[in-house]
Structure 1
Amino acid sequence: MDKMQAFGKNFSATFQPFAARTQQFVKEQLGTADEKTQLPDDYLELEKRVDALKQVHQKLLQVTSQYSQEAYDYPPNIRESFNDLGRTISEKVQLLSHATSPTEAQAALTAPPSARPQPKTFNHAIARASLAGSQVLAPSAHGAEDPLATALEKYALAMEKVGEARLAQDAQIQSRFLAGWNTTLNTNLMFATKARKNVENSRLMLDSIKASKKAAAKGDLDHSSEDARAEIEQAEDEFVGQTEEAVSVMKNVLDTPEPLRNLADLIAAQLEYHKRAYEILSELAPIVDGLQVEQEVGHADFHDKPITARAARVRS
């Protein structure tokens, strides 16, 4: 029996304030409330700034969350098989270096995976396509390695390195930017939202009490009873206290350097990735240029020889 009475008291203590706040809220929405306690301009300005910060976090996270998806730049029109994704480019090149026939070369390209499937990124896809292309090209008529095949193999190795650099960038962004901005959005800004809700509830409660006491005093609060004035003062103190608490919470959210620090980490990760990609391609470019020059020189020498000499070479 005592437990039931205690439950009834707790329920009443919770429900009655809720009902009073709800009634006051409905009156304000319908325009029938006698008065509405106004919040300070400085407080309203803080609310606007917090709302703006929340919007910034939501919009940027909506885009940058793609860094959590490995295949965000993987072409949707590509159809790669399980064998295509089995080995790294470096492993395949190593296996191909020991191949002595087209059959062995094909077996090296389709060797079963040694670990997890290879990443589905744009750079890795280019690498796999380039290596496959290099193996399609047959050796030249005079037995030398095809220059384009050589260039494609080296390009495949470089693209794999760029792809790995992109994955390293993504990991840094996930841990240093996305985690930080999600914490701000889902923790710090949520605290601010809760504090603001407490302010709104205390204001509604204050105005509800004022309205009921005013009605009891027939429209004149100055003639209210001492108990009524004490209840209003208590509600005012609660409203002021909640407002001060919310101001402190919102200022802390707005003043924290974490979002800017997280943004700097995002930029640093992107910079490191592009720097690494530049270094890899800078090493590759002169090698491919050299292969191109050698091919052009060899092509010119071949066409400068007399036809009879070329014919004799072909017959031999």
Structure 2
Amino acid sequence: MPIIPVAGPSTTRGEWSQYSNEAYDYPPNIRESFTDLGRSITDKVSLLSKASSPAEAQAAFTAPPSAKPQPKTFNHAIARASLASSQLLQHSSPVGQSPEDPLASALEKYALAEEKVGEARLAQDHQIQSRFLTGWKTTMNTNIDFATKARRSVENSRLTLDATKATKRSQLQAKGLNPDDESALSEEARAEIEAKEDEFVSQVEEAQGVMKNVLDTPEPLRNLADLIAAQLEYHKKSYEILSELAPYIDQLQVDQEAQYRQSREGA
């Protein structure tokens, strides 16, 4: 009897659990890591310098950072880089020139938009963790694990049956009889093989029942619907944020091109 194969629980847990890791799309950045570490050390040194007793010194070591760590998402990283570039352009503008540098203004708006997209991604991840991962892990840890154990029981039962048949054939061959002639087997040997066959059939039927229960339960589809809903909400918000930003950037680009042409014509 055919058995529906069930993937091992580890084949999907690892991938989706990435939503529990805030930095799953965050590029390694040694400079930012050292900056965060330096800020943490500075906080500890400042607190230790004010400690007047061993108890206060111990409290300084275990105190949380004074500043909230920056979110470790790619969108937040882009936002920080864009804002830093905008500020650099503003500060490097020649004296007397209009502070409204088009590129600086565009980068600032883009930084704000990317930060909003990053916050939307964090909201998505929170929804996926609470509404998808929790229920999905429960399903994986119960129904599918049961199905996997049932499949292994079938495999073990089949191996035992094959081993029993092989042993009986070897005994016939040792007696100089045809090993494929089942009629040459003793009543006791045939009974032993039949018992192993019955056990194998029983294990197959039990496994099919367990796997049917896995396929019939509505929980996985409900969990998957929650996953898609969270992703849809995130992409919808990202689209709205960038759709609002795009016309502003386009207009800046058109205005700058017009000013450039006017300056060229006047020269």
Aligned pair 1:134/2:106, yes or no? Answer: no
Trace 1:3-82 onto structure 2 (pairs within 5 A): 43=1, 45-46=2-3, 49-51=4-6, 54=7, 58-77=10-29, 79-80=31-32, 81-82=34-35
C-alpha root-mean-square deviation of aligned residues, in Å? 3.9
Task: Return the match for 2:248 from 264, 276, 287.
Answer: 287
Q: Is the 8 A contact 1:173 1:266 kept in 2?
A: yes
CA gap of 1:291–1:201, structure 2 versus 1, over 3 A, is closer
Q: For residue 127 of structure 2, give the secondary structure of its aligned residue in structure 1.
A: helix
Structure 2 residue aligned with 1:163: 118
Task: Return the match for 2:215 from 247, 251, 254.
Answer: 254
CA gap of 1:124–1:237, structure 2 versus 1, over 3 A, is same
Determine the C-alpha separation between the residues in 2 that align with 1:294 and 1:163.
Answer: 29
TM-score, length of structure 2 as denominator length: 0.64
Trace 1:1-316 onto structure 2 (pairs within 5 A): 43=1, 45-46=2-3, 49-51=4-6, 54=7, 58-77=10-29, 79-80=31-32, 81-82=34-35, 115-137=67-89, 138=91, 139=93, 141-198=96-153, 222=187, 243-305=204-266
Q: Is the 8 A contact 1:84 1:128 kept in 2?
A: no
Displacement of 1:50 in angstroms is: 3.2
- Structure 1 residue runs of 5 or longer lacking an equivalent are 1-42, 87-112, 308-316
Equivalent pairs, count: 223
Displacement of 1:116 in angstroms is: 2.3
Determine the C-alpha separation between the residues in 1 that align with 2:139 and 2:224.
Answer: 12
Q: For residue 119 of structure 1, give the secondary structure of its aligned residue in structure 2.
A: coil
Q: Which has the higher contact order (CA 8 A, sep 6+)?
A: 2
TM-score, length of structure 1 as denominator length: 0.56
**Higher Cα Rg: structure 1 or 2?**
1
Determine the C-alpha separation between the residues in 1 that align with 2:157 and 2:215.
Answer: 23
- Structure 2 residue runs of 5 or longer lacking an equivalent are 40-64, 172-183
63-72 vs 117-126, greater mean Cα deviation: 63-72
Q: For residue 107 of structure 2, give the secondary structure of its aligned residue in structure 1.
A: helix
